[in-house]
Structure 1
Amino acid sequence: MRASGAEQVEEAVADCVAALAAVREWEGVRAGRLEWDCRATAVHIASDLIAYAGQLAGRAQDAYVPFEITPDDGTDNAGLLTVIGTTGTLLAAAIRTTPRAVRAFHPYPFRHANREGFAAMGVAEVLLHTHDITEGLGVRYEPPTELASFVLTRIFPHVRPGPTPWQTLLWATGRGDLPGREPVGQWRWSNNPVLRSERLDLEGVTPATVADLSTGGDGGYEWVGSAPADGTRVGAGLMVKQYEEGTFHPEWTMYVLVRREDDLALGAMGFHRAPDGDGRVEIGYDLVEGARGHGYATEALRALSAWALAQDGARTVTAVIDRANVPSQNVVTRAGFTRVTENAGEYAGEYVYEIRR
């Protein structure tokens, strides 16, 4: 899994231009359920594409780069499509030339996104607003399934998959209905979170990442020792199941531990699920063999458990460790956890550690 998203942006833009090139009259026609007319919506597509390219190219960290695009007076519909094609090319180029670890400003929900996030947002803007324009003009439009899936599995992790990716995306953005689900009024996509410790970036996974990891892929990372540990793949499989059930939480998920000095992934750490009604949340972790013995697990555990205990609804972080796994017991102890009990019955031989707010 090494797709940066550039090819998806190019494909979405080409699909948009082909769909709209067959339509002659845009002027004064309202774009579907939007307040804009079709021309203004087309300008908006180009504006978003160039804005995202600017964020990545400028490595913006605190706000949007202060510029905008305005078509020349007299630009006709064919000219607008040229602008969309050009700005799409610029975003794809920015994605291709941006290193994997770089994140630039985007206001929600975590005030940053990586190149794949900007690609997914760009594709979403193109697909959805092409739909708005064609809906206003009474023209049927349906993009390639893979593009809708690309968007959903990157920036809509909280949305349970539906009958088809395109139907699901339309429903998730208030543009359609799905059987058995209430209509969506307000909505917002979600880029993945990233936490920082002294030496590591803890990168929250997306459904696309865990799907790849669970089936033997690299998740889009270069790993110490060339591959993730078995426990990481097992944890990824659990996250895939949560996504399919609609219980995937972008923050209460698995985090890949990436060493900043060389951008190598060395393990994963994360929560089994969101905190329960008593404010308890269980954490687990796994490092590749070549990264053990350097304090990375302890460092990451301190950072992630401290973050968790600062969130509303979380009061206790627990870790369940096999009695024979002394190195892991040492990790949680150094991170501030205390052993509180030993499991019995089916889970006999496991110690339960916890740290409280």
Structure 2
Amino acid sequence: MSLRLLQHRSEDGTRGVIAATSSGASTVPGVSSVFELAGRAIDDGVGIAEWVERAGQGATVDLGKELAAGRLLAPIDHPEPSRMLLAGTGLTHLGSAEGRDKMHRAAADAAVQTDSMRMFLEGLEGGKPAAGAIGQQPEWFFKGDGSQLVGPGAPLEMPAHAQDGGEEPELAGIYLIGPDGTPHRIGLALANEFSDHVTERHNYLWLAHSKLRQAALGPEILVGDPPAHVEGVSRIVRDGKILWEKPFLSGEANMSHTLANLEHHHFKYAQFRRPGDVHVHFFGTATLSFSDGVRTEVGDQFEIEAEPFALPLRNPLTRAREAVDRPVLVKAL
């Protein structure tokens, strides 16, 4: 039975961790966060599933009711949000180059291969190396720290200066760096990586700007071996009606890179192996409403569902209100 971990805040404000399987869900005694639970498992030299089993079962939980009540949190956080890094890799899925190529083709000679297509083909050729070998490095981007992560039901807020707020349905790896600098994968979560595709389309060198946005995680972390094939549905609901809906695929069977190769090329940098840090790494997608000509609006709701996750990820789109009609002033000291 696959184990899923969730974070929960009770009616009185007390935080806790929920362990869920196909047999049901119950609280995990003795811990108040997944960060704490994972740290204890590392210290005890055991896997998370074994640690949870040793901890025993607390009170039973109805996950559907807790989600509806808004008491399920993002499934990972850090006591110091600046010590959580949100990053990701793109052009990693079979077919993922198509949408990106459409964006960038307008700025390139139709007879010349875009840099996006070249990078995708390099990954297709070298992104799944033999065991023990290092494969082609992927595109990489930075999104922010833990202050930019939101949970199920929370608004995804685009900056006031944003050109677009678009969904990106995908999987995210959740990691805790152990005391000796070893990255430990806690598991995978359903994610909406959320980007500004209009800004990116203007010039692909603005990808870095387009990614400095919030991101959302579904309520569950799937523990154990990652599934090779994941099928889901991404949709946008406007005024109570489905505006756009499309299936999406993920998992290594549908990717041009292995997870191990993507993980290596992230954690090969010593600065990303600082003990006690948490990393949320978005693995990419091939399905975007923007590629189908959809322009989102404030008030739209993003909905992402995929097995083997039992619960959906839903987030409304909002826009920040800070003034952008004058430059940000820097004071000399």
Give the TM-score normalised by the residue count of structure 2.
0.24
Q: Which has the higher strand share?
A: 2
Q: Which has the higher helix share?
A: 1
Give the TM-score normalised by the residue count of structure 1.
0.22
The structure with more radius of gyration:
1
